[in-house]
Amino acid sequence: MTRPKIGFITILTVILLAFLMSCSDKDKNSSDTEPNEPLPFQELYDQGIDRYLGTITPISSTTTGAVTEHTFSSVDGPVCFTGNEFSMFTRDGSSDNLLIFLQGGGFCSPVACAAIPTPIPLIPFGILSPSDSQNPTANYNVGYVPYCDGSSMMGDNEVDSDGDGVNDRFFKGIQNLSASFDVIFKKYPSPNKIVLAGNSAGGFAVHAALPLVRKLYPNTKIEIINDSGLGILDTGGMETLIEYWNASAFFPASCTECIGTDGNLTDYHKYQLNQDPNIRLAYISSKRDSTFAAITTGGAAAFETQLLEATSELNTAFPNRFGSLIADGNDHTFLLRRFDFEIGGVTVKDWLSQMLNEEESWESLSD
């Protein structure tokens, strides 16, 4: 049999193709071994803030209309700081967007404890109202996390507050938060957009919640609304609370300025905005918020000065991803009780509509 002749050009082409494929494989393997870009908040995950995600499930879920109450066992999991049973709520909407709302209710410190001892159920007021056609989140799916842990949803500690040898305060906020988020994620696994909002201690807690929400929803845009929980604290105040609640894991060890020398958390909020380019942050407050002015050295005037400094810093650093709505007076919280309150010529409701609809007119306003 006569073998077919293979031309020189054919041989050269085969060699060239083999060489190119070899180079392609080398490039591919090289890129595969290159270190990946760090995920937002990876340092916090390394510190263990996600340790309870995926570990706790409700013992019961009861549905009434569109609202479901999910109740947890208080034996070894989510619990109110007094030991009362903890439950959270979900509500089905008609859109692909998700509102996660964190209720407020006071702090417990080594000196005093002024916190709600039992969960407040989902009440359809303000930003939680499904019947207000002007509410920008009216048709959203809702995950509602009540507040009763006394630790701004960050604690993981038990304390003997009266010295009788028996622990009587249970700061389990991180378990309450993680268990609630697992329920929300199971119900609403792929929202188009997330609004993460809270008032008072719940406004304070949105920043603790953000890395956990990001862990569950790694690619979803998150709009953060902090209503009257802006982290204006006295020097040493946050460190005292962190130790008392055992909540240090929420603050990155590498961010030595996240708790300012003045006690404020402005740099902590800058850290979060720097970490995650897929978030925006809104502050809502009055200039002399009576609740926080009462615990600020120097009173209402000092609180106002520090508040305006914080909003100015964040506006300058993140002009396209930060906005503030600051009212005259001493009102505390707006999202539920004062949703139609006018500040700077715009109601709270309309200002948030501008934000969530991504209108160019959305900007920081003040009375």
Q: What confidence category does residue 26 fall into, taking pLDDT thresholds of 50, 70 and 90?
A: very low
Q: According to the model, what pLDDT value does residue 16 have?
A: 38
Report the pLDDT value the prediction gives residue 76, as an integer from 0 to 100.
Answer: 79
Q: What distance lies between CA 154 and its chain's CA centroid?
A: 11
**What's the pLDDT at 33?**
33
Instruction: Give the per-residue pLDDT at 35.
Output: 47
Would you say 249 and 44 are in contact if contact means Cβ atoms under 8 Å apart? yes
Give the span between the Cα atoms of 318 and 337, in whole angstroms.
Answer: 29
Instruction: Flag whether pLDDT at 15 surpasses 80.
Output: no
pLDDT over 50 at 22, yes or no? no
What per-residue confidence (pLDDT) applies to 36? 61
CB 226 within 8 A of CB 206: yes
Q: Report the amino acid identity of residue 261.
A: T
Q: Is the pLDDT of residue 89 over 90?
A: yes
Whether residue 7 has pLDDT greater than 80: no
Query: Model confidence over 291-318: pLDDT tens digits?
Result: 999 999 999 999 999 999 999 999 999 9
Residues 298-301: contacts with CB under 8 Å, at least 24 apart: 300/330
Supply the DSSP symbol for 304.
H
Beta carbons of 10 and 18 less than 8 angstroms apart: no
How far apart CA 52 and CA 55 sit, in angstroms, is 5
Largest CA distance in the chain: 104
Q: What is the pLDDT of residues 173-214, one digit of tens each?
A: 999 999 999 999 999 999 999 999 999 999 999 999 999 999
Q: What percent of the chain has pLDDT over 70?
A: 90
- So what's the pLDDT on residue 262? 94
Tokens of 217: 């929803």
Predicted confidence at residue 168, as pLDDT, reads 95
**Cα distance between residue 242 and residue 58, in whole Å:** 28
What's the whole-number mean pLDDT along residues 24-34?
38
Report the 10 Å Cβ neighbour count for 302.
15
Nearest to 50 by CA among 216, 289, 295: 216
- Res. 326: pLDDT tops 70: yes
Q: What is the DSSP code (8-state) at residue 15? A: H
Q: For all residues of the chain together, what is the average pLDDT?
A: 91
Share of the chain above pLDDT 90, in %: 88
Output the six-digit token pair for 53: 């995600």
Given pLDDT bands bounded at 50, 70 and 90, which one contains residue 12? very low
Using CA atoms, how far apart are residues 88 and 183, in angstroms rounded to an integer? 9
**Tens digits of per-residue pLDDT, 36-87?**
677 899 999 999 999 999 999 999 999 999 999 999 998 878 999 999 999 9
- The reported pLDDT for the residue numbered 25 is 43
